[in-house]
Structure 1
Amino acid sequence: MVLGSDLKRGNVGSVAAAAVLVLAAALTACSDDNGGGGSSASPTPTAEQSTATAPADPAAAQQEIKQNWEKFFDPAVSAKDKLAVLENGERMAPVLQGFNGDQRGQQVKSNVEKIEFTSPTEANVTYTLTLNGATALPNASGTAVEQNGTWKVSVKTLCALVQLSGNGSSSPVPGC
């Protein structure tokens, strides 16, 4: 699917780099050890890896991402409140206005299904969009970013949806 393919492709390099770092640390730990305690050194890089790819409080961050994601895609929420949960909200106001101005954009809701942190300030979000209660886009992929202490829907996600809707396909959407 268009939304997932571009976003997931961008994470391959960071996942590969993280894997190399974990393997290098594990190999270093094993090569420095002369036998007996090699297994006790191995969990340390894994623990460091997991804390490096998630915020300090992952449960709270997941809850905030879910709430803000669903707020952003709620037709009853004002544009001003949506800008507060959109990355670079004020700068993206024209794009959001176009998205909300579309009749379908006024009928769209979101259900967050899965959140995977890729760093302390970024997460991949799997969600389903519904249009008037009917599933319109199942298993969609997007990203959430932490900006100024708030987890927000990323610009990449909004721009991908605008392009998918056809509203930005003939000419580039300013801000995207």
Structure 2
Amino acid sequence: MVSQMAMVLRRRAAALAATAVLLCGPALAACSDDASSGGRTATPSPSAPARPADPAAARTEITRNWEAFFAADTPPAERVKLLENGEQMEDVLAAFAGNPQAAATTAKVTGVAFTSATGADVTYDLLAGGNPLLPDSRGTSVLQDDTWKVSVKTLCGLVKLSGVTVPGC
């Protein structure tokens, strides 16, 4: 029992370390603290539908885009397109794109629940070398510029897990 607990604690520590490596490179200081909402998805009105017109297609796109966003072989320019307001986080994304430890980190989407026609809660496992580091993690996806993207809120949540304060988060 003690060895199982030690293994769980080691996995949690590894998860936090991997998150820190991925998201807290030297470019974090370069993040802009842009308080403007330019390009942000508008909050749906009370009469907005509770889900997209084609939920199956949206679910497929969310899964594909999330897994691509966290894949090591996704080019930085593509990651920018898969992150809400990605242009504002470009330096952070570029910093961990070439990190060798990031090469083993991926995400596997396990669930999508729509909160509106332009928003969804996403359940995913953050994996390192195929092993769960942060299983059953929760994030959000937003429809921005006709593309379902990983929300800045999710990225900032992962950054906060690492214990680092980032301007703009």
* Deviation for aligned residue 1:126: 0.2
In the TM superposition, residue 53 of structure 1 has moved relative to its aligned partner by 0.8
Q: Secondary structure at the match of 1:77?
A: coil
- 1:137 matched to which residue of 2? 134
Larger Rg computed on CA atoms:
1
Q: Can you give the 5+ residue segments of structure 1 that lack an aligned partner in the other structure?
A: 1-17, 19-48
CA RMSD of superposed structures (Å): 2.1
Residue type matched to 1:173 in 2? V
**Aligned residue in 1 for 2:69:** 72
Q: Which residue of 2 aligns with 1:151?
A: 148
Q: Among residues 104, 108, 114, which one is paired with 1:107 in the alignment? A: 104
The verdict on how the C-alpha distance between 1:155 and 1:82 changes in structure 2, with shifts beyond 3 A counting, is: same
Percent identical residues: 48
Note if contact 2:71-2:107 (Cα within 8 Å) is conserved in structure 1.
yes
Q: Could you say which residue in structure 1 is the equivalent of 2:51?
A: 54
Give the Cα–Cα distance (whole angstroms) in 2 for the partners of residues 101 and 159 of structure 1.
20
Task: Tell me the CA shift for residue 102 of structure 1.
Answer: 5.2
Which one has the bigger helix percentage?
Answer: 1
- Aligned to 1:123, which of 116, 120, 124? 120
Q: CA deviation at 1:174?
A: 2.3
Match for 2:168: what amino acid? G
| Aligned positions, number | 125
The answer to whether 1:162 aligns with 2:155 is no
CA distance in 1, matches of 2:101, 2:140: 21
CA distance in 2, matches of 1:158, 1:101: 18
Q: CA deviation at 1:129?
A: 0.7
Paired letter, 1:61: A
* TM-score normalised per structure 2: 0.67
Partner of 2:167: 174
Aligned AA (2:121): N
Structure 1 residues 99 and 56: CA distance shift in structure 2, 3 A: same
Q: Name the residue aligned to 1:7.
A: none
Structure 1 segments of 4+ aligned residues over 6 angstroms from their partners: none
TM-score of the superposed pair, with normalisation by structure 1: 0.65
